[in-house]
A and B are shown apart, each in its own frame.
Chain A
Amino acid sequence: MVIKEFIVWLDELGKEDTPLVGSKNANLGEMLRKEMPVPMGFAVTTEAYNEFVSQGGIIPEIEQFLAKFPQGPQTPRELRETSEFIEKLHMQKELPQVIQKAIINAYNKLGKRYKLTDVAVAVRSSAVAEDLPTASFAGQYDSYLNIRGKDELLNKIKRCFASLFTDRSIFYRTKNNLPILGISMSVVVQKMVEARSAGVVFSVHPGTGDETKILLEGNWGTGESVVQGLVVPDIFVIDKDSLTCVEKQINPKLKQVAIEKTGTQEQDIPANKQTCQCLDDEEIIKIAELVKVVEKAYGVPLDIEWAIDQKITFPDNIFFVQARPITKIAEKKDAIDRILDIMQSR
Chain B
Amino acid sequence: MPYDRPMYDLNEKMDLDPNNYKAWVLGNQWYPPPWVPLFVDHHYCYGKYGMQYGPEVIFDPRTKGWDWRFWKGGFYLSVIQPTEEEGKKREPIWREKMRKILENPQAVWDKHKIPMRKEIDRIFASDLKGSTDIDLCDHWMETWHYGKKVEEAHFEPMYALGSGNITFRKLLKQLFNITSANIEYSQLHSGLDNEYTTIVDKLARIAALAADMGLKDTFKEPDAEKLLAKLASDKKGKEWLDKFDQMVHEVGYMRRRGLELATPTWWEDKTLPLKDIQRYVNEGKTTAGNLDMKPELVKRRKKLEQELLNKVPSSEREMFQKLLECSQASHIFSEEHTLYVEMMFFSALRTRALEFGRRFAAKGMIDDPGDTVFLHHEEIFHAGIIQERCDLRTLITRRKNEFAEYRKLEGTLPPVLGDPTKISELVDADVIFSVSVAPPIATPEEVGASLVGCAGAPGVVEGIACVVGGEEDLDKVIPGTILVAPATTASWTPVFNVIKGVVTDGGGYLTHALIVGREFGIPAVVGTQEATRKIKSGQRIRVDGNTCRVYILD
Contacts and interface: CB of A to CB of B under 8 A. Distances in A.
B98 interface: yes
Given A208-B315, A237-B314, A246-B314, A339 B322 contact: yes
B164 to A, nearest CB: 8
28 contacts: A205-B315, A208-B315, A213-B315, A237-B314, A246-B314, A247-B313, A249-B313, A335-B318, A335-B321, A336-B99, A336-B322, A337-B99, A338-B319, A339-B102, A339-B164, A339-B167, A339-B319, A340-B95, A340-B98, A340-B99, A342-B167, A342-B170, A342-B171, A343-B163, A344-B61, A344-B91, A344-B95, A346-B167
Nearest to A344: B91
Interface in B75-118: 91, 95, 98-99, 102-103
Interface of A: 205, 207-208, 210, 213, 235, 237, 246-247, 249, 334-340, 342-344, 346
A213 B318 CA distance: 15
Contacts of B313: 235, 237, 247, 249
Contacts of B319: 335, 338-339
Closest 4 CB pairs of A and B: A335-B318, A335-B319, A208-B315, A247-B314
A343 B167 contact: yes
**Main SS of the interface on chain B?**
helix
Interface residues of B, number: 23
A13 to B, nearest CB: 38
A160 to B, nearest CB: 42
A343 B164 CA distance: 8
A237 B102 contact: no
B322 A237 contact: no
A339 B314 contact: no
A204 to B, nearest CB: 12
Interface string B195-214: 00000000000000000000
B166 interface: yes
Which of B164, B171, B315: most chain A CB closer than 10 A? B315
A233 to B, nearest CB: 14
Which of A249, A339, A344: most chain B CB closer than 10 A? A339
B400 to A, nearest CB: 46
Interface in B53-91: 61-62, 91
Contacts of A346: 62, 163, 166-167, 170, 428
Interface in B264-323: 313-315, 318-319, 321-323
Contacts of B167: 339, 342-343, 346
Nearest to A239: B314
Contacts of A208: 315
Given A343-B167, A346-B170, A346-B428, 12 more contacts: A205-B315, A235-B313, A249-B313, A335-B321, A335-B322, A336-B99, A336-B103, A339-B319, A340-B95, A342-B167, A343-B163, A343-B166
B165 to A, nearest CB: 11
Contacts of A339: 102, 164, 167, 319, 322-323
Given A342-B167, A342-B171, A344-B91, A207 B98 contact: no
A249 to B, nearest CB: 7
Nearest to B99: A336
A235 B170 CA distance: 22
